[in-house]
Chain A
Amino acid sequence: MTRLTLAAIGLVLLVASNNVVAADVQVRAQGPDRQPLAGLVVWLQPQNDKSSVAGSPAMPAGPWVMDQIDMQFDPEVLVVPVGAQVSFPNSDKVAHQVYSFSPAKRFSLGLYRGKRYPPVDFSKPGLVVLGCNIHDAMVGYIYVAESAYFGKSDEFGVLQLSGVPAGNYVVKAWSPRFKGEDAETLSLITVKANDVQVHTFVVSSSLRPVQPKLVHPKGLHY
């Protein structure tokens, strides 16, 4: 057999072995009122082995982008894994100055438009609250998750996590509707090889009302 054939077989075995151990986990998030909860940040934190987090092949590669559109951060909430490099393009015509003084990441990008700065490294887990030093009404959030398996629930409260390796996980959650930055531990789950799991989690943290989607007024200057 040629080296190429051996490599091909190896690759097939590798993919097959991944398929053997990986599982799909569907999260269904509900609020305290048992209604589907949209926009909930959920991540599966490995209970013991953290090798699947930063630097591991499983870590999603991104790109991670927090844009600025119509004087708002877009998306309002971005979930990234520890070690993610997040870029902050400014798609507005006016200049912005992005900053954060959250313990998880303190930084400031001097006044800019377009794509002036290289991506910013987020190496500590936790919540990073973003602001613009020129436009105080702009507020955004980056949640740095200690996990390679994370996401936000959709409008039906559903989040699909694929390729989760077998193991024990702490399921954690956070939402900008929480009345603090502390994440809520939803449950402990055990993921088995080739599982397809569906979990319904009820958030017990009290929630602020949903922020209505406001129209950005055209021509707003001050």
Chain B
Amino acid sequence: MNNRLSQLSSSVMVWALCCGLAQAAGPYDLTIQLDLRLTAAQSALHSFSQGGLGLLRYDQSHQGLHAGPLMLDYSGPVTDTLRVAAVAFANFDGDKNPIDLTEAYLEWRPVPTTPLRWRAKLGAFYPPISMENRAAGWQSLYSISSSAINTWLGEEVRAVGAEGSATLMGAALHRPFDIGVVAGVYGWNDPMGVVIQRRGWAVHDRQTALWGRLPDIKGMPRADGSFELFSEIDTRPGFYAGLEGSYRNQLVVRAMRYDNRGDPALCNTQECAWLSRFNAYGARLELPQGWTVISQWLDGDTSVGKSLDGRGSHILGYWSDFVLVSKTVGAHRVTARYERFHTKTLLGANKFNSNQDGAAFMLSYRYQLNDQWQLTAEGLKVDSTISQRALVAAPLDARESSLQLLARYSLSL
């Protein structure tokens, strides 16, 4: 987003417009949520959130009790079939704006008159990839941190544009499954790829706001302070296209092709355009007795720099996968997640060699005390090797772990 828009007032205005439009039309859903966290971390590295090459949100110098983030999730009708939705976070971590939007969009849902249901979105939103970020504010339903894949989506990926989808609804046809297609056209996501190239995958729950920043790696060559990820540089729209199938609400499977069609030869004064493309797959299985199994896999590449073939002078390949198993009994939920992640410089390693290999294990216990209070304890262990740690005189291998105790207060209006 350009500088003129990157003002707190923009967020507030969009927010006020959304709420004002919707309140006139009928019932709205508003969730206001504040976290209180007690964090203990074991890591020799500074967190990425402090410009380090550590993969946890809170490093050893940011342990203890802290308030935040504050989250607001709003959705309400404009007309009977048009809704407006917006999510804002205040992370209290020195981001550019004290509170900023992560999503804001209009959604058109015409009331189906045939088994084919249509939907359209316009605005800034997440492409439908994550299988675990199903709670208010696109947060994980199962734990504090998201998997590396969905952490990355929260950091770097946002569609600012339009999405349309069509779903053949099985219930109306007396079939046990739904089949749908979804496609999106978007801009303002040209720098996507820079974070995974310079730092690699991470495991946390911080989402980059639309006018927000992520710090660049301090001490690394060409470090320019921070990444501004939602910018349009090449005026070339990106696209995504995917399929979704579900069986009796028990099994949901998704496959998507994502291509931001960035022109790697172009840069503006702050960021360069990256050509980022990936395939994403996911499945979620709901079983009796409160069991859920989720798996996702994402595999792609990103490139930057002028080249004769337009493909970029520096190319990075990346993939990650995870399996999550969760069991809920009444107000209690226990979740375990194991994941692997990997990046590899495929071209241009002589100029900047960025490689990462890692795995993470997460165990979480969540207790819904009542409608307002949710308590979570999460243990996270991340083992990783990152070649570019050598550039900041840090050991390549790191074994990081954290324990977070979270008391989350939610007010739903």
Contacts and interface: CB of A to CB of B under 8 A. Distances in A.
B331 A217 contact: no
Interface stretch (A51-59, A173-181, A191-199): A173-181
Nearest 7 pairs of A and B residues by beta carbon: A215-B290, A212-B288, A139-B171, A221-B136, A95-B27, A218-B368, A110-B80
Interface size class of chain B, counting residues whose CB lies under 8 Å from the partner chain: 35 or more
Contact of A222 (B83, B113, B134): B134
B250 A214 contact: yes
Contact of A95 (B28, B117, B246, B289): B28
Given A111-B26, A218-B368, A221-B136, A129 B80 contact: no
Interface in A126-156: 129, 131, 133-134, 136-137, 139
Given A110-B80, A218-B331, A221-B135, A133 B171 contact: no
Interface string B286-322: 1111101000000000000000000000000000000
A221 B73 contact: yes
Interface of B: 25-29, 31, 73, 77, 80-81, 83, 109, 111-114, 117, 133-138, 141, 167, 169, 171-172, 174, 176, 178, 246, 248-250, 286-290, 292, 328, 331, 333, 368, 371, 374, 412
A139 B80 CA distance: 20
- Secondary structure at the B interface, as helix, strand, loop or mixed, is mixed
A108 B141 contact: no
Given A112-B26, A133-B109, A219 B141 contact: yes
A64 interface: no
Nearest to A219: B135
Nearest to A180: B174
A179 B177 CA distance: 12
19 contacts: A95-B27, A99-B111, A99-B112, A110-B77, A112-B27, A131-B169, A133-B109, A136-B169, A180-B174, A211-B248, A214-B288, A215-B289, A215-B328, A217-B134, A218-B368, A219-B136, A221-B134, A221-B141, A222-B133
A110 B26 contact: yes
A137 B252 CA distance: 11
Nearest to A96: B27
A3 interface: no
Interface of A: 93-95, 97, 99, 101-102, 106, 108, 110-113, 129, 131, 133-134, 136-137, 139, 178-181, 208, 211-215, 217-222
Contacts of B289: 215
Nearest to B175: A179
Contact of A101 (B112, B248, B288): B112
Nearest to A101: B113
Nearest to B180: A136
Contacts of B174: 178-181
A178 B113 CA distance: 23
Contacts of B333: 217-218
- Secondary structure at the A interface, as helix, strand, loop or mixed, is loop
B249 A214 contact: yes
A183 B238 CA distance: 50
Contact of B328 (A94, A137, A218): A218
Contacts of B81: 133
B27 A217 contact: no
A111 B27 contact: yes
B284 to A, nearest CB: 11
A93 B412 contact: yes
A129 B288 CA distance: 24
A220 B112 contact: no
Contact of B286 (A129, A139, A214): A214
A111 B83 CA distance: 10
Contacts of A214: 249-250, 286-288
Nearest to B167: A136
Contacts of B169: 131, 136
Contact of B117 (A113, A136, A215): A136
A129 B109 contact: no
Nearest to A179: B174
Nearest to A95: B27
Of the candidates A102, A136, A211, the one having the most CB atoms from chain B within 10 angstroms of its own CB is: A136
Given A217-B141, A218-B368, A212 B171 contact: no
A219 B286 contact: no
Of the candidates A112, A212, A213, A221, the one having the most CB atoms from chain B within 10 angstroms of its own CB is: A221
B25 to A, nearest CB: 8
Contacts of A113: 27
A165 B277 CA distance: 71
B176 A129 contact: no
B288 A220 contact: no
A171 to B, nearest CB: 22
Contacts of B77: 95, 110-111
A131 B250 contact: no
